[in-house]
Structure 1
Amino acid sequence: MTVSTAIARLNAADPDFVRHLDHLLSWESVSDDAVNQRVLDIIKAVRERGDAALVEFTQRFDGVDAKSIDDLILDRARLELALTRITPAQREALEKAANRVRMYHERQKQDSWQYTEADGTVLGQKVTPLDRAGLYVPGGKASYPSSVLMNAIPAKVAGVTEVVMVVPTPRGEVNELVLAAACIAGVDRVFTVGGAQAVAALAYGTESVPQVDKIVGPGNIYVATAKRHVFGQVGIDMIAGPSEILVVCDGQTDPDWIAMDLFSQAEHDEDAQAILVSPDAAFLDRVAASIDKLLPTMERAGIIEKSINGRGALIQVRDMQQAMEVANRIAPEHLELSVADPQAWLPHIRHAGAIFMGRHTSEALGDYCAGPNHVLPTSGTARFSSPLGVYDFQKRSSIIFCSEQGASELGHTASVLARGESLTAHARSAEYRILTQEKGN
């Protein structure tokens, strides 16, 4: 196959730079009317017909010869069998990655807290794990055992009682690595269903699939659309866009390394985005040459080529300070600070899903085994969103216990504010608890 790149070259000194950059970054996950209606019909069918609808859709969309819902359930023994079917090296890698992910997320756990005021009033926060979480995992060839670890382990660390996984098996194609990862991560139940029907089953429950409190995990446009529709009935993690990488380099890293780092995201799909920012124009030229040299050696060269040509860019900036400004405007999912002293530049970064520090820290390490979560905000949402974590599987309840004296003192304040809002019942409810002596005053 013949491949060639024509990656965009931008210069921050160009008066039209911001307009060109915004155009490059623009991406919207828009479901057309046909997809939207199909998803609504599927959700309705699952709500009305439960297991029967799941079996029917799995037969139709995945080509699986399932006679009943029992054919779509994998028990714990089947997950344990998967551990014996993968290679020893694969099992060792999964277990090592799982341990690192677990160790990192243990530090994110939040505990309940309280404090007592001078008058005996107690205020605080009670932290409680969700009862049940649902994990959507893509199936077939697009299988990601690493995503199983990244989604299930934080839930288990948070104390979620039950993690339910749904994973399609198109044409009966089962990925043993995914099942092995589910076993290692502590997934409790697995259903081999996918698509919008799986999301609907998790959100509303069926005779066999339990209703969950939150749905996490990536999927195609039908899955994303279904997650949008069931949000509110259940929580969701995010609506993820294509994968992104932004590399900021001072020009001193091996250009082949940088080219391969860009490829590592471009190979996900044609809409993935790979951008390099550097103040060194000659270095950008060397990376462009490395891209052309290395691309023909890649198994997914066709996908990388379309991604690089369609959404990639090499951006020249005035200096490293301007590189930081561009990085914050992009607010990337993955940010590599491939510079001599990344720690010095870290305070300048305000918006990024994950920050990879130094020349030797490739983004790929974060995808699999570094420890931090690889489920990250995309499409600029790092401006207001965070990586998936233990906190996504915990909820917080406020605690308010007023002593007699405390209720009396607060009652005066509440009364004034409530009457200012013309909510008389609120005011009188608070006033009833004002001590007689204080009322007299």
Structure 2
Amino acid sequence: MVLVFSRRNPLRLVLSWERRVLQEDRASVPEVASLLPGDRRRRFSPGPITAGDVALVLFVALASLFGFVERASVVFETDDGPLHYREPDLAGAALILVGCVALLWRRPFPGWVLAVATLSAVARNAAGYPLAPMPYAVVVACFAVGQRWPLPRSAVALVSVLASLAGSALARFGTAVDDEVLTEVLAVLAAWALGRGYRLHRMRTRLLEDRTLLLEQRARHLAQERSTVAALAAAHERASIARELHDVVANDVGMIVARAGGARRRERQGDRVSGEVLAAIESLGREALTDMRRMVGVLQSIDDDAAGAAPPGLDQLEELVAKVAAAGTDVRLEVTGDRRPLALPVELNAYRIVQESLTNAMKHASGSPVTVHVDFGPERLRLVVRDLGGRETSASTPGNGLLGMRQRVDLLGGALRTGQVPSGGFVVDCVLPDGAGEVTRDPAAADR
């Protein structure tokens, strides 16, 4: 008994070891920590009574009865004389069988079964029957309690059982049987420790299963995220290509329409359409086709030369203005500030914004002079395209030009203001960051 209550007794060692193992498990998988002991929502399923349970009960009953009968002939010599046990009879055998048969329900009712087995042993001790060489029924019931109950409840049950067995035996037979009492205590404690170890093994197995499920869910989630990101990237790329195609087609085809419309009006007035006008229309058409091929070449290389062509930039503004002027629109370009090469996205989007603004002026303010002001500031680029208003053409239906410009500006983190001017006309005022540190264009391009 001194061993049970000492500082290094097996019970303390088992409790300390189990507490450390469970803390490590909780730390390793915090997502499923609520499934560890203390959470009664997840228990081992009791299951039905099986043939193995019946075989176990028969074995325990036979071993207990054999030890019960064999101990009846043993006489212990004590200081007070020989110790005689009560002769085995049907009542003693019935007490043994009650504790053994109760083991059939050790899974659904481990606490009740342990109580019945313990009371059976205590009753035999109180009646003076021989001490069993091993309390088999109590050992099996303690294993079940250690396996199925949480640590606090099973520890309380274990202490109660040990105190009952030791107290009843010592009170009835005295210290002459202290060795046998110690054997019973160690056997019950070992059975409980094995039950706790089995419980820990089961919980660790379920913990690993939960961890596997969690990893599978995370893998599926990451796969869905990758799919979503890829879809968003594809949609963004399609939107960018759509804006580029719109700007290319709207500008080039708009100038073709303007040239053709001017030639048709001169023909109505009796003037003959010159070959120079038709050649200009053909040239504009070829340029539009080349630009479209270059854009489509981003997705599929249709023409290697076109697909490999460099995108336009601010160094080509003079050519753009000259093409628009050749189509019959009075355009004036003003460039102020320190003209320098900017980051490629800024150059491309600035060029497209000016191109779209000129196309809108040709469509919605035909005959009006247009001014294009490009200011290279210290840390930003400002574009101002303004017309003075004029007669609207038949192509005055709204399009996606302003929306595309706003998307380009938002993409670069700039600011855009568009609208009617009180004095007449329409203005596009755009401010873009210069993209310092991201210059990819040849600096010599600024001198063209």
Q: TM-score, normalised by structure 1?
A: 0.19
Q: Which has the higher helix share?
A: 2
Task: Pick the structure with greater CA Rg.
Answer: 2
Greater RCO structure (CA 8 Å; 6+ sep): 1
Q: TM-score, normalised by structure 2?
A: 0.19
